[in-house]
Amino acid sequence: MSRLRPIWLLAGGTAVVAMTVGVGGYVLVKPYLAPADFEGAGSGAVTVKIEQGATAGEIASILANAGVVASARSFIRVTEEQAKGNSLRPGHFRLRKGMSAAEALKLLTAPGSRLVRRVTVPEGLRLSELFDRLAAGTGLRRDDFVKAAQDRQELDLPAYAKGPEGFLFPATYEVEPDATPAGVLASMVERYKDAAVELDLEAKAAERHLTPLEAVTVASLLQAEGGRDSDYPKIARVIYNRIKARVPLQIDSTVLYAQRRRSMKVTVKDTKVKSPYNTYLHPGLPPGPIASPGEKALRAALHPDQGDWFWFVTTDPEHRITKFTDKESEFVRYREELNRYLRTR
């Protein structure tokens, strides 16, 4: 009995020591096994910005520093548990302070939580009209867009562009709360460059014996004349046929551009306006684009249809019906169809 007691005491002592070490170890590792976390959906409002390329750990630190979550580790743990690391996106987000990590993750990945304005810029807008659309859609001042458009270096325009007209690509853009007019316009120029690369614009223009600027100018004429998408390659052929024949293009939209107005009616007096953009007075292409062409118009300028057409008339603008001919007598008849249409309006 006397020999067994020390052994029992030793065993008991060992057990106590082991228990003490275990409790101490748990205290040390507790923040990793069960990191600090808030409960519920939080309150108040806080806006956080997540940069492009931020990792889940970096996002977790941003949220913790902003008081959104109790600890970065809690957010990382929930993100790993739900395997949503790839669902986190850059941008500005409106969250709440004191949120549980799970609620914060849920809100960050919800479609409507990102603070962004979407602005749709349709094809065929002139630069002045485009400024109006951007100002209304972004809430930024129109005058600031006008000023930003004058800095070609900031916009990073192509070397062949004389100015931003025609090179602010029509598309839908997401505008962040901290966006600047210069940044918005630069992104539109970048989108044009992407389209130009995809279309191999410079090489295809050279095949047609055009400069890149001339190709974009042709595309702007196609876009401005409207009609159906299938008409663009035919209108392009009319333009090239008339250039080859060394006769004025006589395109109404260039006259209207010179006068800074929109109308379906162009009079003889209008065709005499003094402007380098008046293709009734000056043969060949105007000095530059007269609108922002979209991808279909750019493609048609580079890939025109084959044909002998020398004239085209949109006889029914409402239904976008355009007729083509190589006979002047038919052109006169089509023009009269258009006049009859206009008299009913």
Residue 263 falls inside a structural domain: yes
| Residue pLDDT, tens place only, 218-261 | 999 999 997 899 999 999 999 999 999 999 999 999 999 999 99
| Residue pLDDT, tens place only, 256-275 | 999 999 998 899 999 999 99
Same domain for 305 and 219: yes
Same domain for 215 and 136: no
pLDDT at 33: 57
Q: What is the mean pLDDT of residues 182-203?
A: 98
B/e letters for 224-240, b = 16+ CB within 10 Å, e = fewer, are bbbbeeebbbbbbbbbb
Residue 15 falls inside a structural domain: no
Query: Looking at the predicted structure, is the pLDDT value of residue 30 above 90?
Result: no
Residue 30 falls inside a structural domain: no
Q: Which of 108, 129, 163 is the last residue of a domain?
A: 108
Query: What CATH number is associated with residue 76?
Result: 3.30.1490.480
Same domain for 168 and 150: yes
Same domain for 266 and 173: no
Cα gap 288→218, rounded to integer Å: 9
pLDDT at 11: 37
Of 135, 156, 157, which Cα lies nearest the Cα of 146? 135
Same domain for 337 and 237: yes
DSSP result, 263-329: -S---TTGGG---TT-TTTS-S--SS-SS---HHHHHHHHSPPP----EEEEEEGGGTEEEEES-HH
Same domain for 190 and 264: no
Measured CA distances, 172 to 50, 123, 133, 230, 234 (Å)? 22, 11, 12, 23, 28
| Residue pLDDT, tens place only, 62-110 | 999 999 999 999 999 999 999 998 889 999 999 999 999 999 999 999 8
pLDDT at 34: 67
Entry field: residues in the chain: 345
Residue 275 falls inside a structural domain: yes
Q: Tally Cβ neighbours within 10 Å of residue 260.
A: 8
Q: What is the mean pLDDT of residues 33-49?
A: 87
Average pLDDT, the chain: 90
| Residue pLDDT, tens place only, 136-170 | 999 999 999 999 999 999 999 999 999 999 999 99
Same domain for 275 and 194: no
| Residue pLDDT, tens place only, 335-344 | 999 989 988 7
Q: Which of 157, 175, 198 is the last residue of a domain?
A: 198
Query: Looking at the predicted structure, is the pLDDT value of residue 6 above 50?
Result: no
21 burial (CB, 10 Å; 0-12 / 13-18 / 19+) is exposed
Residue 17 falls inside a structural domain: no
| Helix or strand run (H / E) with residue 118 | strand 117-120
Query: Looking at the predicted structure, is the pLDDT value of residue 203 above 60?
Result: yes
Q: How many domains does the chain have?
A: 3
Same domain for 174 and 301: no
pLDDT at 142: 98
Of 143, 132, 144, which Cα lies nearest the Cα of 180? 144
| Residue pLDDT, tens place only, 288-307 | 999 999 999 999 999 999 99
Which residues form the domain of 290? 201-343
Looking at the whole model, is its pTM more than 0.95?
no
